[in-house]
């Protein structure tokens, strides 16, 4: 979700106004995703590198996250949304950690959209913590180094029991992954748009989904093989 700051700047507003507008986009995108029956929606809200921003902006973002959770959780729960936060939450402010814990517990058995929010998340961090878990298991004698397979490493990443993403959307004109789901994006369709996140409305979302619908997903196979398999 990129482009909040530039959206605000275009309007001669403080960056924070862009982040507030961005929260409204999140609400809309979540609503549409649930409506369309999308299984999982993962939003990159705050990266492990975003701490490098001015202290004031970081503080405002944390507050915004907390107030948005407080304000939205009842509605999300009512709409059967299952909420999960990925990332190193130990560095987040304590009130936010508590709210995250209670929101996850409240919605854990919901059967609708799985909404994953990446907060203090980084793909490098994710793979490192997965590797560390396996190392601990080896040290405890539970597994041997030969047991460290692709499947086992993947099973210790944050999105372990969820399917890999089908579509990646980056708003705001940059064409990079910026340390998002590095492991899980291996075969994901990548979609980049100039649209700034606060402007990413229903039409823009539908355009991204239409792009996805035109892609042929081969997963290493040939186009002919895929055509033979599709009735």
Give catalytic residue positions. 2, 50
- Residues in binding contact with Mg ion, number by CB under 5 A: 1
User: Which of ligand IPE, Mg ion, none lies near 4, with the C-beta cut-off 5 to 8 A by kind?
Assistant: ligand IPE
Output the smallest distance, CB 30 to ligand IPE, in A.
16
Output the smallest distance, CB 91 to ligand IPE, in A: 15
Rounded Cα gap, residues 187 and 168, in angstroms: 10
Q: For ligand IPE, which is the closer residue by CB, 62 or 143?
A: 62
Residue 72 contact, options Mg ion, ligand IPE, none, Cβ 5-8 Å cut-off depending on partner type: none
Smallest gap from residue 3 Cβ to ligand IPE (A): 4
Which residue, 46 or 168, is less far from ligand IPE as judged by CB?
46
Alpha carbons 56 and 68: distance in angstroms, whole number: 18
Q: In the structure encoding, which two tokens stand for residue 88, read together?
A: 């190193």
- Determine contact, residues 199/176, Cβ cutoff 8 Å: no
Token output for 126: 């994710």
Cα angle 127, 81, 77 (rounded to 5 degrees) comes to 125
x/- track of binding to Mg ion for residues 2-41 (CB under 5 A): x---------------------------------------
List contacts with ligand IPE (CB under 6 A). 1-6, 19, 22, 46, 50, 61, 172, 197
204 binds, options ligand IPE, Mg ion, none, Cβ within 5 to 8 A by partner type: none
Distance of CA 230 to the CA centre of its chain: 31
d(CA 80, CA 114): 9
> Which residue from 179, 180, 126 is spatially nearest to 155, judged by alpha carbons?
126
The contacts of residue 134 (CB under 8 Å, 6+ apart) are: 143, 148, 152, 153, 156
Task: Name which of Mg ion, ligand IPE, none residue 1 binds, using a CB cut-off of 5 to 8 Å depending on partner kind.
Answer: ligand IPE
Q: How far is the CB of 83 from ligand IPE (least distance, A)?
A: 18
What is the rounded CA–CA span in Å between residue 110 and residue 14?
37
In the bound state, the residue with its beta carbon closest to ligand IPE is 5
Residues forming the site for Mg ion (CB under 5 A): 2
């Amino acid at each position: 979700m990129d482009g909040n700051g530039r959206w605000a700047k275009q309007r001669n507003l403080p960056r924070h106004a862009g982040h507030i507008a961005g929260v409204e986009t999140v609400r809309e995108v979540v609503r549409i995703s649930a409506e369309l029956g999308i299984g999982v929606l993962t939003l990159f809200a705050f990266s492990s590198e975003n701490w490098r921003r001015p202290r004031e902006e970081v503080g405002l973002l944390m507050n915004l996250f907390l107030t948005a959770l407080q304000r939205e959780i009842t509605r999300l729960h009512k709409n059967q949304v299952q909420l999960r936060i990925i990332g190193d939450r130990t560095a987040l402010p304590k009130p936010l950690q508590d709210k995250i814990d209670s929101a996850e517990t409240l919605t854990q058995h919901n059967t609708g959209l799985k909404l994953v929010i990446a907060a203090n998340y980084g793909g490098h961090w994710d793979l490192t913590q997965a590797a560390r878990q396996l190392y601990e298991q080896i040290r405890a004698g539970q597994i041997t180094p030969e047991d460290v397979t692709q499947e086992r490493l993947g099973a210790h990443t944050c999105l372990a029991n969820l399917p890999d993403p089908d579509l990646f959307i980056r708003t705001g004109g940059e064409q990079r992954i910026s340390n998002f789901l590095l492991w899980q994006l291996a075969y994901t369709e990548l979609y980049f748009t100039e649209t700034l996140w606060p402007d990413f409305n229903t039409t823009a979302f539908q355009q991204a989904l239409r792009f996805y619908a035109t892609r042929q997903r081969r997963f290493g196979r040939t186009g002919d093989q895929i055509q033979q398999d599709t009735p």
